[in-house]
Structure 1
Amino acid sequence: MKNRVIFVGVGGATCSGKTTLAKHLRNLLPESVILHQDDFAPPQENIPIHPGYNVQDWDSAEGAVDWPRMIKTLKKVKETGVIPPEHRSHDHLNEQRDVPIDRAVSERWKETFTQIAREHEERGERLIWVIVDGFLLYWHPEIVEQLDVRLFLRVPHDVLKQRRHERHGYHTAEGSLWRDPPHYWEQIVWPAYVAAHAGIVEGGDVEHGRPNGAVPGLILIDGLDMGMSDIVEKVSARLAEEVQA
């Protein structure tokens, strides 16, 4: 049986719903796993200090991700279809917000993807889905290159800010809880998000610009214009198209 590993990128700002979408997709797709970009953050002691505000900067692209480790892991998973045993995720420590989808949508697509998997197996091909979610997913060209499907969830600034402020914090790989210092959103999170994504949308307008082709095939989804059931419907249709082409 030959393995076919399909990487599905789910990018978006912090609190945009990307991890929620990724988990819905994992529930629909047979032989699927999630790789969280947050799990590739450097050790806490290596997170850089912002030169202007003198606090740790967990959000600027240059220092927020151990890029060589993430690239190496993705290449290994693409080659083997298996997450390396040394990889550890701390996503389960974070708040798990439940955003349900329509049962009919879930059951229909689960049945569809099960049938697709069966048809491929009859032809000697095992489909393995790897959903990669991250807030800096389209910043590094070597990451972008490895993704087969590229999704980007966009939510307006004010909604993201409110959601972020409602969170209790984020757990680090070491198990400690990071809480935003005062004004961290305005001073670091949002500027870092704009800097990392201005190059992939027209006019550098991260709130309204359409994809400019810098990330080939990028599917931009305005998260407030659609409910999660509709988003899952749209994405599932694209994934079915990817393997049936």
Structure 2
Amino acid sequence: MDDFAPASEDVPISKEHGIQDWDDPETCILWPKARAAIAQIKATGRLPPGHTSNDHLNQLAEVGIEADVEAHWRAELVRVVDESAARGEDIVWVLVDGFVLYYDAVVASLLDVKLFVQVPYDVLKARREKRSTYALQNPDSVGEVWTDPPNYFDNIVYPGYLKAHAHLFANGDVEHGALLPDTGITVLRPGEGVPGMTKIVTEAGEVLVADVEVGDKVLVDEEA
């Protein structure tokens, strides 16, 4: 979803903290552009013409999974595709990732499978602080980078995360509340390292294979 972030000069300043707020779900995504792009992908199985991304410029630590589990799910997805092809149908897998992905009702309605990766506050904070510098995604901001100022996670990022997901949980309690039954979202709670990644791949694969239907599909995996 960072592909749909606004240009740096259009990011609002937090009235409370006096710094740019890149994480308020109301303003951190150009929602009309995101809706149109995802709708086109769902209809055609292709990215909109001229769509660009700078996300490859960001460095993320790779976490592997157990080899036998990786082999199993590769084979399972091939099986699903082959069985569909035998019926004269093509499956197009599209992964849409973003930590405010479910804030917008229109975007959420376009997604066939919804997964929410939920991890504790301290893990979220540690991960954010390991990757606190970002290449900006908007085409008007090519070459620019953003580095989190001190206390940015606690003052801006985490409040934005809670705001973006409060409507999904009982009493608006993202940390401890139960997921509301009408969201259509499956919550995944991985651990750390290879065992944690293996667990989440297995659970996500089970949901995907169980829910896949005839026709093009959009797979959604949100990393908090």
TM-based fold match above 0.5 = yes
Q: Which moved more, 1:116-125 or 1:58-67?
A: 116-125
Shift of residue 166 of structure 1? 2.1
Residue in 1 that maps onto 2:203: 234
Aligned residue for 2:48, secondary structure, equals coil
Structure with bigger strand share is: 1
Give unmatched runs, 5+ long, in structure 1: 1-36
Instruction: Give me the TM-score of the superposition, normalised by structure 2.
Output: 0.88
Shift of residue 214 of structure 1? 4.8
Aligned residue for 1:150, secondary structure, equals strand
Residue in 2 that maps onto 1:9: none
Aligned residue for 1:97, secondary structure, equals coil
For residue 188 of structure 2, the aligned residue among 176, 201, 221 is 221
8 Å CA contact 1:42, 1:64 repeated in 2:
yes
Aligned residue for 1:142, secondary structure, equals helix
Distance in 1 between the 2:27 and 2:14 partners?
10
Distance in 2 between the 1:105 and 1:84 partners?
34
Distance in 1 between the 2:165 and 2:132 partners?
26
Distance in 1 between the 2:44 and 2:154 partners?
41
- What letter matches 1:54 in structure 2? G
Shift of residue 73 of structure 1? 0.2
Shift of residue 242 of structure 1? 1.5
The answer on 1:150 being equivalent to 2:76 is no
The answer on 1:70 being equivalent to 2:34 is yes
- What letter matches 2:190 in structure 1? G
Shift of residue 239 of structure 1? 0.9
Inter-CA distance 153–145: structure 2 relative to 1 (3 Å threshold): same
Residue in 2 that maps onto 1:199: 167
In the TM superposition, what whole-angstrom CA distance separates every residue of 1:133-153 from its partner, at most 9, and x where no partner exists?
001011000011001111001
Shift of residue 67 of structure 1? 0.2
Q: Which moved more, 1:48-57 or 1:141-150?
A: 48-57
Percent of aligned pairs with the same residue? 40
- What letter matches 1:52 in structure 2? E
Instruction: Give me the TM-score of the superposition, normalised by structure 1.
Output: 0.81
Distance in 1 between the 2:82 and 2:61 partners?
32
- What letter matches 1:213 in structure 2? P
Aligned residue for 2:162, secondary structure, equals helix
Inter-CA distance 171–67: structure 2 relative to 1 (3 Å threshold): same
Distance in 2 between the 1:234 and 1:186 partners?
30
Segments ≥4 residues shifted beyond 2 Å: 223-226
In the TM superposition, what whole-angstrom CA distance separates every residue of 1:12-37 from its partner, at most 9, and x where no partner exists?
xxxxxxxxxxxxxxxxxxxxxxxxx0
- What letter matches 1:142 in structure 2? V
- What letter matches 2:29 in structure 1? V
Aligned residue for 2:202, secondary structure, equals helix
Residue in 2 that maps onto 1:87: 51
Residue in 2 that maps onto 1:30: none
Distance in 1 between the 2:180 and 2:37 partners?
28
Give unmatched runs, 5+ long, in structure 2: 215-224
Shift of residue 244 of structure 1? 5.7
Taking the TM superposition and a 5 Å limit, the aligned residue runs for 1:4-23 are: none
8 Å CA contact 2:190, 2:199 repeated in 1:
no
Distance in 2 between the 1:160 and 1:72 partners?
30
8 Å CA contact 1:168, 1:179 repeated in 2:
yes
8 Å CA contact 1:199, 1:214 repeated in 2:
no
Shift of residue 168 of structure 1? 4.1
The answer on 1:165 being equivalent to 2:129 is yes
Residue in 2 that maps onto 1:48: 12
- What letter matches 1:55 in structure 2? I
The answer on 1:175 being equivalent to 2:140 is no
